[in-house]
Structure 1
């Protein structure tokens, strides 16, 4: 379930006026840690192919056009931390997968270019735009629905910009028990990390 949309989050950026300062903290300090997840049963997803550092090359894959756009936007690098719980999505209330990411750009303007790319890609992949409320300097939200063995699964993505950093939370789980508020509450926790640097 996580593989379909995991790379969307690590591209992210936002737009707006130039910030008073640029965030230069280590990327791992800008994503959620296990102790910050308020839902029971989550563990770090060891061996996840989507976790870790994301160079522009890894983010773009074989898409040369996307690679050029990331480089032009001044994206330096991204990082993603993945968490899951062993409960079946049919039995779990709320998310069963959480992905937390952050990408650093050389400027807030460049991060704005990155967010526009993410929005276009999420919509092209079948995502539906959803409201996120106020998170950071600018935020976007998306929902995707999938079917697996007779169960509807949803993924919610909240992406936002704080200064020159773009962060994202993606939650996935059973459509019957999942909504955007899970992603927004986690984004609010991660946003505290960004404003503290």
Structure 2
């Protein structure tokens, strides 16, 4: 976020403004300007990819109660509030922040998310000793390698079909045949 904000703050990083009445005066951005902008997008994508999938599980780990029914109710409440706040954040981002960017400029429009991100990071770091942290039992890298190995080893295995054409199911599950319902709805979506 800071890198993206700097693209609006530093004069040499911004491409020159064009005169709409004279398009021949427009200059395209330099490779350094592109590099800085794309680097900001890459870092934001990596950060979001690392935080978003983990925040929900981390929040659910904080609910610690021995009573199963209380835990289920608290988890349902937590998930409801989590998704409500996530949607609220998106709504604020696409309304209030865009309004601020339009009326007060990109510096302020990108500066406010930077300040909010700083506050959220600071509050996370300050409260870190209070969090309940799950102990890691297995290496993530080892599990990933095991999955890749087994998938590679079993890549040519064909599941046996029963005589009537239905699929093989383990663990005494009901034998089912694939239907055309999903296939029909997917084709309908693509046809639109």
TM-score (norm 2): 0.24
**Larger strand fraction of residues:** 1
TM-score (norm 1): 0.23
Structure number with greater CO (CA < 8 Å, separation at least 6) is 1
